[in-house]
Amino acid sequence: MMENILLTDEWGKSYEKVIFPGKAEDEKILYATREAPMMLMIRLVGFSVVDAVTVLVGSLMIANMGKTLGFTYGGMVVIILLIGAVVMFGGLWWIAQVYKKTVFIITSRRLTKFIHTTPWTRYQMSLGLDKVVDSGAYSKGYIQAIFRLGTFVARSSAGNIKNFKIENIHYAEDLHNWMNKLMFTFNKDVAELDTFRPFVAAPMGKRD
C-alpha cells in the first residue's frame, strides 16, 4: 500500500512505497529529502532554552513582587510552571510536525516542495524540468559550515517564477552534479527518465 510521503519516514530505496499529493501516475520520484536532522535538533533545543528562560524569569519576577508587596506567590509560580510545561511540549510537537511534513522532491517531471507553516497548513511550489536553466550548490552561514550542510538551487528560465531552493542538506554539490545529468537526459530523450537512477544522499562508493 502506498503511503503519503509527508506522513511517513519509510520511503523505500527507490521511493516505490510512497506518493505525494498531486503526483501523476507516470511520474517517478527521483529524490526526496527533508532538512538535515540536526536542523530539527537546533530548533528544538533553541525553543526549549527560550521557554525555560522565560519561565525562570517570570517565576523570579513574581517571587520578587510577592516579597516586596507581601502577597503569597507560591500558587502563581506553580501556574507559570504549568503554563511553561504546556507551551514547551506543545511547541516541541509543533516544531517536529512542521519539520516532518516539509519535504523537497525531484521527479521525472518537476521539482516540487511542500512547505508547512503549521502542522495543518502548507503551500506547494513546483518548477517543471523544462523551466530549469541550470543548478548550483553553495554553503552559507556558520550553521551550514559547522555541520557541513549546503544549499541546492535550480535556476528558473521564467522571470516570474522564483528559483527552486533546497536548504540545509548534506551532499548539495553531489545533488547539483546529479541534477546536471538529469537535465542532460531530459533534454536528450525524456523516455530515458524511466530508467534514470534516483539520487542517493550518501558518500561515494556507498550509493548502491
- Please, what is the end-to-end C-alpha distance for the chain in angstroms? 25
Report yes or no: 192 and 185 within 8 Å, Cβ to Cβ: yes
Among 11-15, 19-23, 75-79, 134-138, the minimum mean pLDDT is found in: 11-15
Identify residue 53 by its one-letter amino acid code.
V
So what's the pLDDT on residue 174? 94
**pTM of the entire predicted model:** 0.87
User: Over 80: is that where the pLDDT of 149 sits?
Assistant: yes
Tell me the longest C-alpha to C-alpha distance in the chain.
Answer: 82
Percent of the chain with pLDDT over 70: 97
- What is the per-residue burial (b if ≥16 Cβ within 10 Å, else e) of 93-127? eebeebbbbbbbbbbbbbbbbbebeeeeebeeebb
Find, among 165, 181, 156, the residue nearest to 113 by Cα. 165
Residue 111 — left, alpha, or beta (φ > 0 → left; ψ -120 to 50 → alpha)?
Answer: beta
Q: What is the pLDDT of residues 129-142, one digit of tens each?
A: 999 999 999 998 89
Report yes or no: 34 and 103 within 8 Å, Cβ to Cβ: yes
Provide the CA 14 distance to its chain's centre, in angstroms: 20
Among 105-119, 164-178, 188-202, the minimum mean pLDDT is found in: 188-202
CATH code for residues 27-36+103-195 = 2.30.29
So what's the pLDDT on residue 172? 95
Identify residue 128 by its one-letter amino acid code.
G
Identify residue 119 by its one-letter amino acid code.
P
Provide the CA 204 distance to its chain's centre, in angstroms: 24
